Amino acid sequence: MNHKFERNALKNNDTDWKQFHREGRCLAKRLQQEFGNLANVLYVKPFEDPNHGVKEKTWIKKGKISYFRMISEKERALKKCLKFKSLIGKYSWEDIWPHFRKLYPDSKNSREGYKQVFSELHTIKPRATRMRIVLEEVPTERNQEGYVHVFGKNGTLRKTVHPKHFNDSKKDDPEESFAIEYIPWEEWLGMSIDQPSTERFSGVEIIVHCLWEMTFAGFDQASIREQINELKRIVEEIEHMTEEERNEQMIPMADVMKRLGNRAKTVTEKK
């Protein structure tokens, strides 16, 4: 028995796809019956990717059954390259922008800014770092789809950073998360992509979400450094304030949260 799924077997219209799907199911069923469930034939509908449709020959152990699996060459490479610098090298801006516009519709007016950053990242030499990039889906009440949170982890345990809150040895000691939007791009490029993130997101999606995060403070590193220096100045100014000056010029966090809560309640009532 010699069955192959050729690339031209997949057409764009629904009729051809349904026929291909039925043939695939029949073939899988026959193989399972004949070889005692040792074979698992995979077939997928191609994405809008010029590199999709690469045929990869795989052998099932014991049964020695050869089959062809339709996969994306770039997604297969993603599993082998964990560094952000290597990942962006696999794609062109033409690969990135359609997904960027889909994931962040409001970004269409800043297309040239993101394009400039993406091009610049190809020329920057990465700097070694222990930090790795983590992407996590966060649901929200107002938007069921939620959003994707990009942050960093470097192996530091939370108990080390917050000993007062995690002083009970019986409690779990999770890995601490860090904001990375102000980190220099050289370090971004030297970061590894967290393995669960590579399994949950495609390579293009990882790049899009990272570009969005790393340009939070601007489209060039000079602007980002200016904001970092301003934040440092504010912190130093607060540290040198007297208790009286702090009471006069600052608002306690509890009051801030209360005001935000009242504002959110007002907006909800108006809706």
pTM of the model: 0.61
What pLDDT was estimated at residue 94? 96
Q: What percent of the chain has pLDDT over 70?
A: 59
CB contact set of 9 (below 8 Å; sequence gap of 6+): 20
CA distance 73 to 52: 7
Given a contact cutoff of 8 angstroms between Cβ atoms, the answer to whether 180 and 131 are in contact is yes
Bridge-partner residues for 72, per DSSP? Answer: 52
CA distance 224 to 221: 5
CB contact set of 131 (below 8 Å; sequence gap of 6+): 152, 153, 154, 178, 180, 183, 187, 191
Of how many residues is the chain composed?
271
Given a contact cutoff of 8 angstroms between Cβ atoms, the answer to whether 213 and 199 are in contact is no
pLDDT per residue rounded down to tens, the chain (271 residues) = 444 434 344 444 444 545 554 555 555 455 445 444 333 333 333 333 333 333 333 333 333 333 333 445 555 555 555 799 999 999 999 999 999 999 999 988 999 999 999 999 999 999 999 999 999 998 776 656 678 999 999 988 877 776 666 665 556 668 889 999 999 999 999 999 999 999 899 999 999 999 999 998 889 989 888 888 888 898 888 888 888 888 888 877 777 777 766 654 454 454 4
Q: Which pLDDT tens digit goes with each residue over 174-183?
A: 888 999 999 9
